[in-house]
Amino acid sequence: MQVAFDGFDGYWVCDPAVQPPAETVVFYLHGGGFTMGNDFNNEADGSGSTAFYLEFLMNVVETIPNHALRIFSLDYSLVPEARYPTQLQQLAKAYEYLLSSTPADKIVIAGDSAGASLLLSFLLHIIRPCPELEAASRPLSTPAAVILISPWCHIDSRHTPTSSAKAADEDFLDTAMLDEYARLYTGATRPQSSSSLLFPFQFYIAAFKGLCRQLFDSPPYYTSKWITRAKLSVLESRQDPRDSAIHSYLCKSPYRNPFSALDHPDWLAQALPSNAMVIYGEKEIMAGDIIEFITGLKKVSRGEVEVHTRWKLGWHAWPTVVMYLGKDLTETRSGVNLIADFITRTMQN
């Protein structure tokens, strides 16, 4: 069910037989490099990225005992039309909306990739309000739990990578595209032509082809390195070299780049819910950053930081990937079951 309010919109995913208020509400933020994931209104055939996330979220609901769960997925504005802090402001307004009917201790926030990055920044905002956002109309409280799926926790993509060369070669993500998306989000650069609007589609088409080739070719001949190098050279040829310095400076703010919160452990400790789960793939190019961020979370956490990873099919945001590319029901539902189990245990506490 779609809903629209002043300042944000989204949709509810739930079993129609479960009337609100459900026992627990999950507030979900989709990934997509800040560039796609909420094209619901533009999908005549229901085949786009929103349909992809709807199926994933509905599977989570159906796995919860008695389906006693409602999920609200925020359709935050995308780059290049909107940039920071627009998305964070919409997130804050949507969370206020949820608090109007559900106490914070019954809310689990979850997201993948760029959505998880936004959630981390928002948790920091709850403790120390971001001066660039409107003041909240009600006090904001930390939710009961957070689920981070392959969080894009370090959006300054030009920092020295900490992932292995093998992981960087096998993941379907493209570092050149990620850098472009991150700069567009922070405001360090602006698209120079309408072709920038095609980046998300080019990125996901290339990613899906890469996944299929790695799965079905024996031995796999596909490698993402040549694509990354080619795209990086094209992007760098048209960028102002000053953009890198501007982007890195902007990324010092934890409101933009949550990895910077590791430099503020007391703030991070207050912001992190007592129940936290991080899921990532050992083959993804973000793995090194995620592992370092998890280490920082565990140092400051007042509770347990539950971590799940995998090597086989262990790419970026693998719980959604295996749902379509897993070889059997056990594999396709492995990520969904992990998430549903964590939510169920949180509900019982």
191 preceded by cis ω (within 30°)?
no
Per-residue pLDDT of the chain (349 residues; tens, 9 = 90+): 777 888 888 999 998 887 666 679 999 999 989 988 765 444 443 334 566 788 899 999 999 988 889 999 999 999 888 999 999 999 999 999 999 999 999 999 999 999 999 999 999 999 999 999 999 988 899 999 999 999 999 998 665 555 544 555 567 777 777 888 898 899 887 765 444 445 555 555 555 555 565 555 544 444 444 344 434 433 443 455 556 788 888 999 999 999 999 999 999 999 999 999 999 999 898 999 999 999 999 999 999 999 999 988 888 999 998 998 888 999 999 999 999 999 999 988 7
pTM of the model: 0.85
* Residue spans of alpha helices (H) in the chain: 49-63, 86-99, 114-127, 165-170, 175-186, 199-216, 225-237, 242-250, 265-271, 287-300, 318-325, 329-332, 334-348
Question: How far apart are the C-alpha atoms of 53 and 17, rounded to whole Å?
Answer: 21
Domain ranges of the chain: 2-155+254-348, 165-248
2-155+254-348: which CATH architecture?
3-Layer(aba) Sandwich (3.40)
Is 197 exposed, middle or buried (CB count within 10 Å of its CB: 0-12, 13-18, 19+)?
middle
Rounded-to-integer distance, Cα 48 and Cα 31, Å: 14
* Of residues 30, 39, 28, 34, the one with CA closest to residue 178: 34
Instruction: Please check whether residue 233 is in contact with residue 174, taking contact to mean a CB–CB distance below 8 angstroms.
Output: no
Distance CA 302, CA 284 (A): 28
